[in-house]
Amino acid sequence: MDPLAYTNDIVNLSDVTLRPNPRRTIVRPFAAADPIEYADPRRSRAQQIAERVIGLSDMEAQYMLALLLAAMRPRLRQPESYLLDRFDEVNGTITVPRAISEQRKQLIAAYFCSEYSFEAAALFNPSMIRQPETPVLPDGGVQFLVSLRALGEGHVSSVTFRTGRWSAATDFEIDDTASNEGVALRSVLGQETGDNEITHLVAPGGRPLSEMVVFPTTPSQRQGIEDMRLVIFEDDDLGPQVYGTYTAYDGRDARPEIMHRAASREIHFRRLKGRFATGKGMALFPRKIDGKYLMLSRQDHQNVWLLRSDDLYQWDEGTKLLEPEGPWEFVQLGNCGSPIEIDEGWLVLTHAVGPVRLYTMGACLLAKRDPSKVLARMRYPLLRPSQVEGRDGYVPNVVYSCGGMVHDRTLLIPFGVADSITRFASAPVERVLAAMDWSQ
């Protein structure tokens, strides 16, 4: 049997493509630093900037502020409010505290901000979940939420979102973002507290999720929040909860962290700890099994591991689950996202690295009551770079996903191509299972 023809018959590729949009921006804090050899201990560079603004005439200040707000309003809702908040952050910390007019406060604050195009370079490595608390659509379709890794200046990664729907009749449809000329986004800031390095953020109220970006705010995230894997976790006490595991990168070290979006619209980040909280690709099972939390992880850079814990944030127990078998897996094998519960067991999307650093995607099936038992795995890749357009991007020959979902016995797969763009595919669950080797 021709393996290329065999796998081409399984997956239906959508024409929908998400590309990076440099017009989508946030405003983030900025402070001009003093070169050490030229620093003035009595008057910092920041203080000198503030004094120059204070020295403007009223007419000059009014003119500058009018120009500034006219430029900001198409991209940022209520820029005056943002600037006043930013002034409160710098006043008395990096500048001498002052009691001045609101007009001068806004203008000073503007010199300590920068506009950042957070997805100018790439938009890739998506994960997908059903939109919580949304009914099945009249045509039998489903509404979904997609998280995406956005890449901007300086190779800094953040997480952004899109909403959409899928049905057998209409295929994938992605909702428009708020504006074609720039989106009204505000970077939400966090605070680290104590040993656990808990970050607490408040989501902007009343805005669609497609207008929210989770931007690095803590030292552990300095260079990026990478590859979030969303899951709806069925909590016995709280009901369905949205979690997202991801990799925090500070420019030197990477570590796993977890996001929790609470019913109050607050977003909490927390570090994962323990002997096995070191691998990339950690993905939470959507419910406890035998009273324990379970995770999948690429613990040793080449195999898939199964982790167990009594504590969502502490991971000290793990066993190897999957090793490379096919030649398309010889370099590396990892999970894509959280396992998907179906009648037959736990369906897991996998990624693999083979010759010439070729990234492909596959799938396996774990036993429902005991996920340490591998019931079946695909004989050949489910998805290959040569199947899709756009493979020659920033990192060629890569297809990669951070998780899909199943609706009406159809596997829905968002996936990144060449670390540049995002595409979508679907596959009947029966065809995926039929393509697996059940002799495990």
How do the pLDDT tens digits run along the chain, 440 residues long?
555 555 667 999 999 999 999 988 888 888 888 888 888 888 899 999 999 999 999 999 999 999 999 998 887 778 898 899 999 999 999 999 999 999 999 999 999 999 889 999 999 999 999 998 788 889 999 999 999 999 999 999 999 999 999 999 999 999 987 643 333 333 344 445 544 455 545 445 556 667 778 888 778 888 999 999 999 999 999 899 999 999 999 989 899 999 988 765 677 888 999 999 987 899 999 999 999 999 999 988 899 999 999 999 999 999 999 999 999 999 999 999 999 999 999 999 999 999 999 999 999 999 999 999 999 999 899 999 999 877 788 899 999 999 999 999 999 999 999 999 999 999 999 999 999 998 76
Distance CA 287, CA 276 (A): 20
**Cα 120 from chain centre:** 16
Query: What is the token pair recorded at 425?
Result: 């595919």
Q: Write phi, then psi, for 19 (nearest 5 degrees).
A: -120, 155
Sign of CA dihedral 96, 101, 105, 108: negative
Residues with Cβ within 8 Å of residue 170, at least 6 apart in sequence? 139, 141
List 117's β-bridge partners, or say none. 25
Query: What is the token pair recorded at 142?
Result: 């489903």
Distance CA 51, CA 67 (A): 20
Give the pLDDT score at 218: 78
Give the pLDDT score at 194: 47
Q: Does domain 3-24+119-437 have CATH number 2.115.10.20?
A: yes
Residue whose entry in the numeric block shows the structure tokens 């950042």: 116
What's the burial of 5, exposed, middle or buried (CB within 10 Å: 0-12/13-18/19+)?
exposed
Which of 392, 402, 418, 425 has the alpha carbon at shortest distance from 122? 418
Distance CA 10, CA 431 (A): 6
Which of 135, 129, 139, 128 has the alpha carbon at shortest distance from 170? 139
User: What DSSP string runs through 30-54?
Assistant: --PPPPGGG--SSS-HHHHHHHHHH
First to last CA, the chain: 20
Instruction: Sort strands 399-400 and 405-407 into parallel, antiparallel or unpaired.
Output: unpaired
What is the domain partition of the chain in residue ranges?
3-24+119-437, 31-111
Strands (E), 208-367: 213-214, 224-235, 239-249, 254-261, 266-271, 280-284, 293-298, 304-309, 317-322, 332-335, 340-342, 345-353, 359-366
| 340 contacts 406 by C-beta, under 8 angstroms | yes
| 169 contacts 408 by C-beta, under 8 angstroms | no
Which of 227, 260, 224 has the alpha carbon at shortest distance from 241? 260
Query: What is the token pair recorded at 258?
Result: 């977890």
Query: What is the token pair recorded at 422?
Result: 């995002």
Distance CA 12, CA 278 (A): 35
Query: What is the token pair recorded at 192?
Result: 């680290």
Which of 222, 204, 115, 114 has the alpha carbon at shortest distance from 158? 222
Give the pLDDT score at 265: 64
| 281 contacts 302 by C-beta, under 8 angstroms | no
| 215 contacts 192 by C-beta, under 8 angstroms | no
Burial 276-299 (b: 16+ CB within 10 A, else e): bbbbbbbbbbbebeeeebbbbbbb
